[in-house]
Amino acid sequence: MITNFITLFFICVFFLFTLSVICQDSDIETDCSNRWIHIRRLPPQFNLDLLSNCSEYPLFDNFCPYLANHGFGKKTHNKSHSWYRTDPFMLELIFHRRMLEYPCLTSDPSHANAIYVPYYGGLDSLKFLYGPEVNSSYQHGLDLYEYLVHGDLPDVWSRHYGHDHFMVMARPAWDFNQPFDSDPMYFGTSFLELPELFNVTALTLESRAFPWQEQAIPYPTSFHPPNLAFFESWVNRVRRSRRKTLMLFAGGGGSSSKPNIRRSIRLECENVTSTSANGTGYEKLCELVDCSSGICQHDPIKFMKPMLQASFCLQPPGDTPARRSTFDGIIAGCIPVFFEDLSAKKQYGWHLPEEKYEEFSVSIRKEDVVSKGLNIIDVLKSIPRGQVRRMREKVVEMMPRVMYRKHGSSLGLRTKKDAFDISIEGTLERIRSRLQEVAAQ
């Protein structure tokens, strides 16, 4: 009963908003040349019906609480305007909601420069990853392909055979690249291995080292301001915050005896004495925020305050190269410290331009720390204070590029391109280039 109500509620809200979107966007002067997008109409089995199964995967999590506010989750407290308990796996829902207010939508697919497929692929993968179809993961995406090609308006697909289609899949691409001949099977589905869908652009939370069809876009943080005033108020707080800790690591892992970068970080922090910070201008040289077993994921209060008080936030790879914490840290104005290029530099080029990394981040090779005993604190202490201030200001400048502002936000805030805006720009350019390549063949 409750799950059916959830589905009905979302269908009604999406429908009502679609009716009002033209009126809302009429206040904005927009040049839609080469920016037209058509939203492909899908049966609810590919999106809204998946929300009604939110409590059916106990090995994963009950994600029903995080469906609130169109995927932002519940507010951190009743009076909050910008902070939510956001689950990053709800990005498909967040993106879909924002697409409905995109100013250059067209109902005519032949007029569109790109076709958005509102498929919740990450949520659909749960039945293969944690549910009854775990031994059929090679089938993930086949039913979608059949519908796109043979279902409603097949000419939309055959026009460019999927080269102009894009979708969001709110999991790392590693979760969708299990080879068909894998024996034994390992965690993941084979969605990105399907030849039928090779031409479709997939926006994922992380991309592989050599991606073809996917592009990484930022993990959603818990910060979703509704207007310019709330955004600028937060920026001012970030700038005023007293940075009394040199470096911070918020995360889990590193407790095993096997050498790895997280273990090295923990050992270095634990060996710092109370007098080590004397004469440095910091009260503490290192702070650890234990986020083991996901205890921080839906509670930004646990890590945002420490991040606001730290100059540098360490972002070591874990199960995958990238981390949501990278984007949490940027929202807090905390300078990221990376230990391999695949953690961000080789993935998020649309949102964090590769040529600017030296201006807003620090790079330390994990091999130098783990195998050669390089001291991270010594490296960070050697950076002049003036340079640290300039790097932090660059981090603050990057903040809008990695946040997903609230749907229906004010006109003033919409003048600042956020993660969604940049994702759409990058997708349109990628599709344009791909179509030119195909035409030239």
Q: Is the pLDDT of residue 419 over 90?
A: yes
Query: How far is residue 297 from each of residues 51, 73, 214, 294, 323, measured CA to CA in Å?
Result: 20, 12, 25, 5, 11
- Between 210 and 314, name the one with better pLDDT: 314
pLDDT bin (cut points 50, 70, 90) of residue 23 is very low
Q: Is the pLDDT of residue 20 over 50?
A: no
- By the 10 Å C-beta count (0-12 exposed, 13-18 middle, 19+ buried), 394 is classed as middle
Mean pLDDT confidence for 252-262: 87
Q: Is the pLDDT of residue 144 over 90?
A: yes
CA dihedral 294→300→306→310, nearest 10 degrees, is 100
Token readout for 22 is 């033209």
Q: Which pLDDT does position 14 carry in this prediction? A: 52
Token readout for 433 is 């280039």
Q: Classify residue 52 by its DSSP letter.
A: T
CB 292: neighbour CB atoms within 10 A? 11
Mean pLDDT confidence for 117-133: 91
- Tens of pLDDT along 350-366? 999 999 999 999 999 99
Within 13 A of 21's CA, how many CA atoms are on the CB side?
19
Q: Is the pLDDT of residue 188 over 80?
A: yes
Token readout for 435 is 């179509």
Matching residue, tokens 């108020």: 233
- Tens of pLDDT along 231-247? 999 999 999 999 999 99
Tell me the average pLDDT of the chain. Answer: 91
Q: Which pLDDT does position 183 carry in this prediction? A: 66
